[in-house]
Amino acid sequence: MNQMIIKKCVGKDVFERMNYLLQLSNLALRQPGKDAASSLYSHLLVNVSQKAVQRMEPEVKRSICKRCHTLMIPGINSQIRIRKKRLRWKCNKCSNSKLFKTDPSHKLWIDNKEAIVETLRY
Amino acid sequence: MTLTSSDFSATSKDSGKVYLFNLLKENLPRRTQSELNTLTDSTFVFTTNARKKGKVVRTKKQFLTRKERKKLNILKLPKQDWKYDELCEMRELWKQYMRNNLNLYPKIPTWEDPNWTNFNITLAKSEFIGAELTVIRSKNVNQVGMRGTVVLETKATFQIVTPKNELKILVKKPSVFTFTLDDMKFTIFGKYAIIRPSERSIKKIKTLLLPDL
Ligand SMILES: [Zn+2]
């Protein structure tokens, strides 16, 4: 029985690894003088995700800088401001910024009801 | 670009059409919405939004090169200011992750188990950052017996922090490593672990019962 469930969930080990790397990156960022380590871990996270073609949730994906792959946590190493009716995330490491819509009717695909077809528990 | 709605209607005539209409209504830009009313059974042509041929839009480059990473100090780890005691949280996290990943409980598999190879492959694909490594055999005599927590893995090296608060770089190729988890002992032959850590999770791994040294 146990074996069946493992076979059904494709890429479980990759997801476990990605989850662990995210935790590591978060942990290293909160300790002084380890921002290089944190950045390297999140860089590895993005690489693993791209190689294995297992995607991250939009919330998680947005919290990683697109340019230098550093984990951005507002107040510690990033800045969030509203400018020109848009939400702006700025990375303090490479000073790259991302713009997001502030339109309340704008919806992500994952928030739709149709997006969830099946939920697996193991 | 033409889209024939009659293709969809072969199986479920009305529901397909309604779905298509809703999809178009959600995704098309506002100025083309008025054209939707002209949608009939035959064809619908997207013309207003089409891009002219021969015009290539260049996107801004996003990723960083190696040189730029070096400039921002995120390519390599700093050599000083490492504390072994600060890494204890990391070691605890790693133990939790490994127990979860290997699915150890309720029972620990033995080599006679049918899914022994499966277990080995999962082990080889897992993450080693945070593990407590010991060098048991090496061609480099100075490194034998060295113990520490892995802080980074690259294609050819493990970088560890020893209890004396030093960062040491161990080359994988001439060494054999061990690590323990609860009361189990694992051995890594460095010669077979030379691969980029990001590619390890998709690589097909051959199982060798007798490793040649
Ligand atoms: Zn950045």
ipTM of the complex: 0.78
What's the confidence (pLDDT) of residue B91? 86
Reported as a pLDDT band with limits 50, 70 and 90, residue B86 is confident
Phi, psi (deg, nearest 5) at residue A28 = -70, -30
pLDDT bucket at A65, cuts 50 / 70 / 90: confident
Clarify whether residues B3 and B94 are in a common domain. Answer: no
Q: What pLDDT is recorded for position B9?
A: 44
Residue B79's pLDDT is 81
Would you call A20 and B69 a contact, using CB atoms and an 8 Å cutoff?
A: no
- Cβ contact (<8 Å) for A51 and B201? yes
Residue A110's contacts (CB-CB under 8 Å, 6 or more residues apart) are A57, A58
Mean pLDDT of A9-16: 77
User: Mean of the per-residue pLDDT values for chain B?
Assistant: 76
- Measured in Å, residue A122 CA sits from the centre of ligand 1 at 36
B65 occurs within a structural domain: no
Q: Domain for residue B17, yes or no?
A: yes
Residues of chain B with pLDDT > 90, as a percent, come to 0
Q: Per the domain annotation, does B73 fall within a domain?
A: no
Number of independent structural domains in chain B: 2
For residues B15 and B96, state if they share a domain. Answer: no
Q: Maximum distance among all alpha carbons in chain A?
A: 56
Domain that holds residue B50: 1-57
More confident residue, B44 or B60: B60
CATH number of the CATH domain containing B145: 2.30.30.210
- How high is the pLDDT of residue B23? 80
- Indicate the pLDDT class of residue A122, thresholds 50, 70 and 90: low
Residues in chain B closer than 8 A to A43 (CB atoms) = 74
- Rounded to a whole number of angstroms, the distance from the CA of A23 to the nearest CA of chain B is 8
B116 vs A67, residue with greater confidence: A67
User: Among A3, A14, A19, whose Cβ lies nearest the Cβ of B201?
Assistant: A14
Q: Let me know if residue B113 belongs to a domain.
A: yes
Residues B92 and B41 in one domain: no
Q: Region B170-174: what's the mean pLDDT?
A: 87
* pLDDT, position A6: 47
Q: Quick one: pLDDT at residue B65? A: 77
What is the pLDDT at residue B1?
43
Q: What is the pLDDT of residue B122?
A: 80
Q: What is the mean pLDDT of the segment spanning A46-64? A: 86
Highest mean pLDDT among A1-5, A91-95, B102-106: A91-95
Residue ending a domain, choose from B40, B57, B74: B57
